[in-house]
Amino acid sequence: MPTNMYQQLKCTQNSDKESQVSSLLSQMTLKEKIGQMSQLNNDSEKLHSSIKKGLVGSILNEVDLNTINELQRIATQETRLGIPLLIGRDVIHGFNTIFPIPLGQAASWSSDMVEICAKIAAIESSNNGVNWTFAPMIDITRDPRWGRVAESLGEDPFLCSTLGTAMVKGFQGDKLSDTYSIAACAKHFAGYGASESGRDYNTTNIPENELRNVYLPPFKAVADSGVSTFMASFSDLNGVPVTGNTWLLNDILRTEWQYSGPVVSDWESIPQLVTHGFAVDEESAAFEACNAGVDMEMASDNYEEHLVTLIQNNKISIEHIDTMVSRILKLKFDLGLFETPFTESTASIEHLNGFHLSVAKQAATKSCVLLKNNKQILPLSKKTIDKLAVIGPLADDGYEQLGTWAFDGKANQSITCLSAIKDYAEDSVDVKFAIGMETSRSNHHDGFLEAIDIASAADVAVMILGEEAILSGEAHCRSNINLPGCQEQLINAVYETGTPIVLVVMAGRPITLEKILPKVDAVLFAWHPGTMGGSAIADILFGEDCPSGKLPITFPRTLGQIPLYYGQKNTGRPASEATFVDINNIKVKAPQTSLGMTSTHLDTHYSALFPFGYGLSYAQFEYKNINVSHYSVPMGESFKVAATISNTGSVDADEVVQLYIRDLFGSVTRPVKELKGFQRIHLQAGQSKTVVFNLHTDELAFYNRQMELKTEAGLFHAWIGGSSDTDLKTEFEVILPSE
């Protein structure tokens, strides 16, 4: 067995990590350094031999504890220097216990909930030897056609920053070296969510001002909060693929933000620089990525094959390599891997335990968004319902409700809607089930007759429809976002029975529901809710829990409105009700200038079907008495915006109170509204509470024409409400001290 040089270093008890890294780095050969920059998938034929030679820094997609411990044993005991491995896995929204998809978690508007979900995911995955996850994904996206919208935290920089920071805290804990902490990874840096036409891996064109004001803030937030790693985006950003983008990875991330952790490529994105047409060959691709600051290559072997030659030809300096490798080594020290490379089976805990499942249920409950509740059909009552029809291909499918990126989820442990409804109903309600369609994509009507039969005989039909898990996620983009297959026809068929319909939608993205909305009495949007989704949904349907989720992304009326988001610019001719003209009301041979001449479509209303921040409750909330602590706010000082919220309903409930501002005049145009704060509060029936938001003028800053982050003096509007479409408004002004 080779002598393990690192054992000598462990004797230096008082050495700080920097000196430990330097000592270790000084003993490494060039090939060993490049090996630390290489991440291999677990199916690589050369995995064991490469690890034994000290040529692998990380592996990914291995979750068998015995296998991982054996790989760590080879790395630490059969190599010259004994450097442990980073074990990467996409632990996106749970490991064995699966929580709602990230977009669903964002609908909870709860930092605490997002943090504890990530913490449990870290506990379960680290218990299997994983020490690095590729989450959170904090790409701002305003195109629900994009498959990876499911993995996002929505359309808003403030909400995404807040929840993304909470997710990092959950994964990483107080210290990376703690037993159940794992390294988080901020991805995909940056602008990936703006892919043209919502197609994955596609080109993005984002002006620098828009990039800095919208797409970069979440990444800056998690960098400031101590996220361990970054992942470079697949995408071409303004003509320069991010994997080779020196301006973004070096000038912004390293120099401007002073981020010091490792940057990993996305899967085989370095050789894809050739496919982009950015690099002439794989050696050139290795140069571009290394020069830009990609410290570790995921899956492919361009670094292994070409870095030695690039260094010998003086295209890449050894000092540059040393800097990159030192970042990787420091992360391993931070994780405590040199001291504890193995995961002890004696430290194992029960996955999917009672506490984990209870949190999964709470997360699913808080994530569900009630979009419609005509005549308060919900909640259902066992006292008034004798027969209940449950219809749909997603009603009793434990796998599909887990959603995308749930590799390690246990579908047989899922509580489905049908099973939860039957358990709740017990013997007091006769529950009948018809699948209606074989899958969510089916285009035949073979199951319609059974669905119609049970609906005709029922007091209420609960239809559980939406998208299978495979229809969202990476490379699972859609050119339309209607309910797929013949689901709309199934709804129409059940509607014809005259039985009231409660529609539950499980999906990985917003769905265009305008056509079927008049046919259903209630809509509960459940996203892909995870392991305990059925229990959460059943409790909401029967009033054991009150829906409190709010949309983290705008729901368009039609596909043609995309991109549609609340924080739009006003334009020189904003749309208004006064000037809107429906295409069906246009007179034949009407003059060209007779239609209002504003920023609208002729064939759909300019507004969203459901706006950002929207979500109904079984309670009713009244907002009033908005006020600002002082009208004139000196630059550099703090102020308060407050309002009174009353629960005027008959049930206790949570409400997410939201603060929006508008900077009316700026050196660059500003959005019509920007989220600047939110609070989830609980109000008993009849209770009122004054909710206060504390702001500083620095929080009103934006990047100006010179790309300087500054607050500008002037007039502002402020709103407090239950969604972005709120009318309770006040105003204030920011003044210069001399004023």
> How, if at all, do strands 714-721 and 729-735 pair?
antiparallel
* Residue range(s) occupied by CATH 3.20.20.300 in the chain: 30-347
Whether residue 510 has a cis bond before it, omega within 30° of 0:
no
- CA dihedral over 223, 225, 230, 232, signed as positive or negative: negative
pLDDT in tens, 153-205: 999 999 999 999 999 999 999 999 999 999 999 999 999 999 999 999 999 99
121 contact partners, CB below 8 Å, separation of at least 6: 91, 93, 94, 95, 97, 99, 133, 170, 171
Q: Check pLDDT > 50 for residue 12.
A: no
Residue 560 burial (10 A CB sphere; 0-12, 13-18, 19+): exposed
Residue ranges of E strands in 149-234: 185-189, 229-232
Q: How far apart are CA 204 and CA 436, in angstroms?
A: 40
Task: Identify the pLDDT of residue 13.
Answer: 38
Q: Check pLDDT > 50 for residue 2.
A: no
| Average pLDDT in the chain | 96
Q: How far apart are CA 297 and CA 270, in angstroms?
A: 7
Q: Token digits for 171?
A: 């994964």
Mean pLDDT, residues 366-377? 98
275 contact partners, CB below 8 Å, separation of at least 6: none
Task: Identify the pLDDT of residue 44.
Answer: 77
Contact 539, 532 (CB under 8 A): no
Task: Identify the pLDDT of residue 10.
Answer: 47
**For residue 173, which of 137, 138, 126, 208 has the smallest C-alpha distance?**
126
Contact 728, 626 (CB under 8 A): yes
User: Which residue is it, tokens 């939110």?
Assistant: 678
Longest Cα–Cα distance of the chain, Å, equals 89
Architecture in CATH of 621-735: Sandwich (2.60)
Beta bridge partners of 70: none
Which stretch of DSSP H or E encloses residue 421? Answer: helix 417-425
Contact 724, 660 (CB under 8 A): yes
Beta bridge partners of 505: 465, 525
Sorting pLDDT into bands at 50, 70 and 90, what band is 6?
very low
Sorting pLDDT into bands at 50, 70 and 90, what band is 737?
confident
CA angle 283, 288, 289 (to 5 degrees): 100
Task: Identify the pLDDT of residue 347.
Answer: 61
Q: How far apart are CA 20 and CA 8, in angstroms?
A: 11
| 282-292 vs 318-334: helix crossing angle, rounded to 10 | 60
Q: Check pLDDT > 90 for residue 362.
A: yes
Q: Token digits for 103?
A: 């977009």
CATH code at 361-541: 3.40.50.1700
Q: How far apart are CA 319 and CA 230, in angstroms?
A: 21
Q: Higher-confidence residue: 597 or 95?
A: 95
Q: Token digits for 261?
A: 């952790």
| 157-172 vs 217-225: helix crossing angle, rounded to 10 | 30
Contact 183, 177 (CB under 8 A): no
Q: How far apart are CA 607 and CA 369, in angstroms?
A: 19
Give the predicted TM-score (pTM) of the model.
Answer: 0.96
Task: Identify the pLDDT of residue 348.
Answer: 66
Q: Check pLDDT > 90 for residue 594.
A: no
Beta bridge partners of 387: 430
CATH code at 30-347: 3.20.20.300
Q: Check pLDDT > 70 for residue 7.
A: no
Mean pLDDT, residues 530-545? 98
Beta bridge partners of 703: 709
Task: Identify the pLDDT of residue 14.
Answer: 38
Q: Check pLDDT > 70 for residue 554.
A: yes
Residue ranges of E strands in 332-484: 369-373, 387-391, 430-434, 460-466
580 contact partners, CB below 8 Å, separation of at least 6: 596, 598, 600, 605, 606
Q: How far apart are CA 167 and CA 170, in angstroms?
A: 5
Task: Identify the pLDDT of residue 1.
Answer: 38
Q: How far apart are CA 357 and CA 5, in angstroms?
A: 45
SS3 label, residue 272: helix
Sheet-wide strand order for 263-264? 185-189, 229-232, 263-264
Mean pLDDT, residues 512-522? 98
- Residue 143 annotated as catalytic: no
Q: Check pLDDT > 60 for residue 560.
A: yes
Residue 705 burial (10 A CB sphere; 0-12, 13-18, 19+): exposed
Task: Identify the pLDDT of residue 9.
Answer: 47
* Residue range(s) occupied by CATH 2.60.40.10 in the chain: 621-735
- CA dihedral over 115, 120, 126, 132, signed as positive or negative: negative
Q: How far apart are CA 140 and CA 504, in angstroms?
A: 26
Task: Identify the pLDDT of residue 15.
Answer: 57
Q: Check pLDDT > 70 for residue 706.
A: yes
Contact 503, 543 (CB under 8 A): no
Q: Work out the number of other CB atoms within 10 angstroms of the CB of residue 644.
A: 15
181 contact partners, CB below 8 Å, separation of at least 6: 122, 126, 171, 172, 173, 174, 175, 335
User: Which residue is it, tokens 């993304």?
Assistant: 164
**For residue 270, which of 293, 252, 286, 281 has the smallest C-alpha distance?**
286
Task: Identify the pLDDT of residue 349.
Answer: 82
Catalytic one among 139, 156, 266, 397? Answer: 266
**Cα 533 to Cα 108, 368, 394, distances in angstroms:** 14, 9, 11
Beta bridge partners of 388: 431, 460
Q: What is the DSSP string of 684-719?
A: -TT-EEEEEEEEEGGGG-EE-TTS-EE---EEEEEE
Q: Check pLDDT > 70 for residue 610.
A: yes
**Percent of all residues in the chain with a pLDDT value above 70, rounded to a whole number:** 97
* Residue range(s) occupied by CATH 3.40.50.1700 in the chain: 361-541
Say which DSSP state 435 is in.
Answer: -
pLDDT in tens, 36-64: 999 999 987 889 999 999 999 999 999 99
Continuous H helices in 173-316:
208-210, 217-225, 246, 272-276, 282-292, 302-312
Q: Token digits for 116?
A: 């504890």
SS3 label, residue 721: strand
**Cα 677 to Cα 93, 158, 218, 590, 682, distances in angstroms:** 25, 8, 15, 46, 17
Task: Identify the pLDDT of residue 4.
Answer: 57
Q: Token digits for 441?
A: 């994509």
Query: For 78-87, 338-347, 485-494, which range has the lowest pLDDT when averaged over its residues?
Result: 338-347
101 contact partners, CB below 8 Å, separation of at least 6: 92, 93, 150, 151, 403, 404, 405, 472, 508, 527, 528, 530
Residue 350 burial (10 A CB sphere; 0-12, 13-18, 19+): exposed
**Cα 569 to Cα 312, 399, 674, distances in angstroms:** 52, 41, 11
Task: Identify the pLDDT of residue 45.
Answer: 80
Contact 137, 152 (CB under 8 A): yes
